[in-house]
Structure 1
Amino acid sequence: MALKDDVARINRKLNDLGRKKMPNAAVKAINRVARRVGNKAMKAVAKDVGVPLKTVRGRMKINRARGKLPVATLRIIRSNMPAIRLLENRSSRIWVGRGGIVIGKYAMQRGFMQRLKNGRWHILQRRGRPRYPIDVTKIPIGGLITNEFKKQTRDYPAAVKAELIKELSVGKS
């Protein structure tokens, strides 16, 4: 009788311990998967555009899951990136000709580099006739970011499940 009581008491304690650890393990697993998804997507976008990873990673902010609510939020700036950011990559060379500028794999017709009144350098482009205004040349990356995040989050539930199993198994040993 005493042995059965001891076994039942040990089982109850183990179950209580599992219930206490489960919310924390879920939060840790979701945060880890969210960070991994964000990093992989940003790395692919940086490689696609031809800029350093640091340049596009600054456009991502992770609001981690906390407490009992296991929800992690990735906030991404999807707006177009100024073309001057291409020059942050050491391997990118600028070629200035009579018809425009070429930086990496991007060519800007009627483009030129100029220092603005605020002291920043930008690559500007004249859109139409010479009397029309000039615009800062930008590279569209919103679609790239969206596609990469869709690709990375395709197997999100399976990744969270695997990470949760890993977290709970590490916690028991």
Structure 2
Amino acid sequence: MSLDAQVRKLEKTLMTLDNNQARNARNRALNRSSKRLATLVSRDTAKTERLKVGLIKKKIRISQYRAKGLAVVVIGRTAIPAIKIGAARSQVKRRKGKNLISQAKRGERGRFAKREHAGNTAIKVGRHTFNNAFLQRLESGRWHIMQRTSDSRYPIDIAKVPIQQSITTAATKYSKNIIDEYLPTILIKDMNYRINKLLS
């Protein structure tokens, strides 16, 4: 007998004994399955992107509708700002044992000329290094790690770690197993326990 068939049979038996117990068993199984999916996706994505699991878990939200016997797992896929990864450490590029440091100088017409060594600093956060980056406080009052995205002075953007591909891959990988195997298995075990308790 398949897992789905076992679930339907046990649920029908439990509903005849106590409808509330049947509803509670399903809601409990959905809650555990949702949390299991969030944990697996967070761990897999964190390992791939070399980030802390907690940063990924914040991207996952679980909503449970007990009256309908449903659970929704919402997974955010937006990039994580570098400033949230950990403490930022500034680094200076070196060549032949010397730091590549240069100051801005004005040209003949009084305009600032291009630096001798452009983009000579980098910011290291956790296990990630962002070249041509610097710390800056934005108008909102928040500090961010900014990064030059080209050789010119602008454009400048917030340094981020993209997670869209890795978190999507992890969600696809684990969701099918959770729905097809993990959820029915724990639901069968829980309903068997409740039925035996009611009949004893």
User: What is the aligned partner in structure 1 of residue 57 from structure 2?
Assistant: 57
Structure 2 CA distance for aligned equivalents of residues 20 and 115 of structure 1: 54
2:27/2:66 contact within 8 Å kept: yes
Note if contact 1:51-1:85 (Cα within 8 Å) is conserved in structure 2: no
1:50·1:86 contact (CA, 8 Å) conserved in 2? Answer: no
Quick one: which amino acid aligns to residue 16 of structure 1? T
Q: Which has the higher contact order (CA 8 A, sep 6+)?
A: 2
The aligned counterpart of 2:192 is 169
Number of corresponding residues: 156
TM-score (norm 1): 0.77
Secondary structure of the 2:140 match is: coil
Shift, 1:124, TM fit: 0.6
Cα distance in 2 for residues equivalent to 1:124 and 1:162: 48
Deviations 1:72-96 (A, max 9, x none): 10112211111111116xxxx6342
Q: Name the CA distance, whole Å, in 1 between partners of 2:155 and 2:80.
A: 20
Give the structure 1 partner of residue 123 of structure 2: 101
Give structure 1 stretches of 5+ with no counterpart: 1-12
User: 1: CA distance between counterparts of 2:162 and 2:70?
Assistant: 29
Check 1:14–1:104 CA distance in 2 against 1; reply closer, same or farther (3 A cut): closer
Q: Distance in 2 between matches of 1:14 and 1:80?
A: 45
Write the distance in 1 (CA, Å) between the matches of 2:15 and 2:153.
Answer: 76
Q: Distance in 1 between matches of 2:14 and 2:65?
A: 26
Matches within 5 A, 1:78-157: 78-87=77-86, 94-97=89-92, 98-155=120-177, 156-157=179-180
Secondary structure at the counterpart of residue 72 of structure 1: strand
How many angstroms does 1:18 deviate by?
A: 5.6
Q: 1:117 to 1:19 in 2, by over 3 A?
A: closer
TM-score, reference length from structure 2: 0.68
- In structure 2, the residue matched to 1:23 is 23
Task: Give yes or no for contact 1:40–1:152 (8 Å, CA) kept in 2.
Answer: yes
Structure with the greater alpha carbon radius of gyration: 2
Higher helix share: 1
Partners in 2 of 1:113 and 1:125 — Cα distance?
9
Cα deviation digits, residues 28-73 of structure 1 (max 9, x gap): 2122111111122112223333333332222111001312x22210
